[in-house]
Amino acid sequence: MIVTGGHGRDAVDHLFDGTRHVEIPVERHDVAATHGAGCTHSATLAAELAKGSSLENAARRAAVVAAKAVRNGFAELGAGDGPVNVAV
């Protein structure tokens, strides 16, 4: 199970594999471009697992990719939170 925690001041994801709890620090970006961050995280996690990564390594990679997508997002688009940018 993974609980993402990019919303708090000290952003950290929590991974529990049924035996072990791992905290994964997440680079937090205070921008209004978060629409799609969860989908980006889950898609990256699934892709990494499909490539044969361990669950922990896949979760760490997903956290990095989602954080970068938020950092490079399009905050100026739309009326609410703008979309993330995964093309970087």
Which residue, chain included where needed, has tokens 């993330």? 84
Quick one: pLDDT at residue 62?
Answer: 97
What gap in Å lies between CA 69 and CA 14, rounded to an integer? 20
Tell whether the model's pLDDT for residue 78 goes beyond 90: no
Digit-coded pLDDT (tens) for 19-65: 999 999 998 888 888 899 999 999 999 999 999 999 999 999 999 99
